[in-house]
Structures are given as C-alpha cells and as structure tokens.
Amino acid sequence: MNTDNAISIITLGQVEYLRTWAAMQAYTAARGLKTEQNNDQTSPRPLQNGRNQLWICEHSAIYTQGLAGKVEHVLNPGGIPVVQTDRGGQVTFHGPGQVVAYPLIDLKAAGYYVKEYVYRVEEAVIRALAHFGVTGHRVRGAPGIYVRLDDPFSHARLNAGRPSPQPSPARGRGSSDLSSPARGRGSSDLSSPARGRGSLDLSSPASGRGSSDLSSPASGRGSSDLSSPASGRGSLDLSSPASGRGSLDLSSPASGMGSEFPPLPLAGEGRGEGSALADFSGLGKIAALGIKVSRHCTYHGVALNVAMDLEPFSRINPCGYTGLQTVDLRTIGVNVGWQEAADVFSQKLVSYLAP
C-alpha cells in the first residue's frame, strides 16, 4: 500500500462553516505549493508532506451558494446566514443532523480524474445508504443522490426513459450538463479538463453575499474551534506546515487533469439515453455534492442528511430546482445516530476514493 495516498479520517464534530472553509483552503494551498531557494531564485515545487485527509463534521444552520449562484433561489433565509463560496453547484443548506464530508484528495497522485472522482463520491453515498437498507439513485444531469419517496428500500431501477421537466425559471448559466460541453462561468463538462478558477459546478447557480460571524460559537451537540485541536476521533492542527500557512490563489487555473474517458454507469438507473434536464418526480434528495479542485487537489465535498430539521430547505430552491423535495434518513424510516452514520459514510468514502 502506498502510504502517500492513504486517507486519514479526521472527525471534527460540529464546527463553524467559515472557519472550516478557510482551513480547507489553507490546507489545499499549502499542500499544492511550497517555495525554496534554487540558484538564488524562488521556484514553486510540490509539497511532499501534504497527506490526503477526509474531514467529517456538521455545521450549525447556514446556507451556502456556489460560484455561479443566483439570489432568486434563496427565497426566505430569515435569520439563517447565506454565504457565497468558491465551490461549484447551487444553493444548499447545512445544519445539525447532517454528516458533511470534505475529502482533501490529490487527484494526480491518486491517478483518476474529476469525473471519476465525482462518480466515486456518489458511489460512496449509495453504498452507505445500502448499509442501512436504503437504495440510492443517480439522476442524469443532477449530481447528488436521491431516493424513492414511495419506497426508499426498493431495488428497482429508475426508468431510463423518464421524461424531463422544464427547468426552474430561475435556473441559469451555472447548470451542469454531464453529457455536453460545459456552459457558463460556473459549469463544468466532467468529461473534459476542468476550466475556470478550479471550481466544478455540479448543478446550477445561486448567489447571495451574506456572511457569518466567525466569532460566534457553533450550536448543537458540541462545537470545535478550528484554531485549537478539533474534537472527536482526530485533531486538526491549523498551525502545522501542511495546513495553516498557505494562501489560496483563486485566480489560479483548475486542475481537472485533462483527458476524456468513457462515461461511467449510473448506479440505480437503466443504460438508455438520458437527458441533462432531470426528472425528480417521486424522488427526494438525500445527499448533495459540491466541490472545488485546485492544483489537482479537491476540497469542499458532500453532505448526507441523517436526522435534520428539514424546514430550512423549503426556504430555497435546492440545487436551483423549484419544488425539489429534500429528505433525510429519519423521514424515510431509518433511525440512526449521527456518529454511526458518520462512521459508515467515512469508511465508504475512504474505500471508494482509494487509488
């Protein structure tokens, strides 16, 4: 086993979103480049001691938006902060009772590309759901994982010929067409090199420029201050060379690593022709995906709904789709604790993201 590509699981507990985002940026920037003197010139060289990590956490209530977001998709945030991020994708909600996983993976060292990375993350969600007897499905043109509302435990495949609905009127240039060239600033064609500033837009736009108070404590089952050792099974030292000292150049090019390869099969679906416009009839979304790739390295990640207050999802158009229903394990009849779900999910991610 190549220990350089091993993935360390770090369980942070409940942490503030903005501090966690800043820590991901710093870790990614530090592992991507270091400088040293070479013939009286400073030249960038790869950082050799930045290991792959998987951060597992949850956040207090917050809405986050992707790069190409539109404010129309945030209907009534009320007192919940809205934060514009540098990830791809649309608006989503994070809150207690949701397992948020942030894989910090060097794709170049791992030997696979952005498209396969997304597939592997989604497959880990599907396998984690299967552990609890739930069948997860992919929907063409709408990254993330969905379940049947009438029978979440059915193993029947989705009909490959499902008709495609009209997109939300607010949907715009950040949408993702997984089978055609990318369009717009925030979108990405997953079969070709990543473009733009390193983001991968996995759905459609959202906007909003709100922010959170970094000094406010996270609420819920306990909080972790990312400036001190993190709680849980692991710890995150932001003063270490690999995590605290870098800066993130958001103007640097993405590193999706290039070349095309044959499309991967869609688990839970037939193999017929699909449409980039998704059909959500009879489905609820249980996991959302939004990532960024910088210098071959991933951050941001995936959120699995376990036992949440789902009401805040009704105040947005999740992923830019009007009326898209969001569910969690509890609402579909699976009563499992956050820690158990986090343990299962993290192990599936480690297994499926391994080179």
Backbone angles phi, psi at 11, to 5 degrees: -95, 115
| Residues facing residue 83 across a β-bridge | 64
Measuring CA to CA, how many Å separate 202 from each of 46, 280, 337?
28, 16, 29
**Longest distance between any two alpha carbons in the chain, whole Å:** 68
Q: Tokens 């792959």 belong to which residue?
A: 52
> Rounded CA gap, 204 and 66, in Å?
8
CB 60 within 8 A of CB 218: yes
Q: How far apart are CA 44 and CA 269, in angstroms?
A: 45
Tokens read off for 261: 């390869």
Task: Return the structure tokens found at 45.
Answer: 């060289």
Based on the residue annotation, tell me whether 297 is a catalytic residue of this protein. Answer: no
Angle between helices 338-353 and 114-131 (to 10 degrees): 140
The answer to whether the CB of 55 falls within 8 A of the CB of 247 is no
List the structure tokens of 98.
Answer: 């949701």
> Is there a contact between 127 and 352 (Cβ–Cβ < 8 Å)?
yes
Instruction: Find all residues with CB under 8 Å of 177, minimum gap 6, and list them.
Output: 141, 183, 187, 189, 276
Tokens of 16: 């503030």
Q: Which of 289, 62, 303, 91 is nearest to 208 (CA)?
A: 91
Q: Which of 319, 327, 329, 349 is catalytic?
A: 319
Positions annotated as catalytic residues are 319
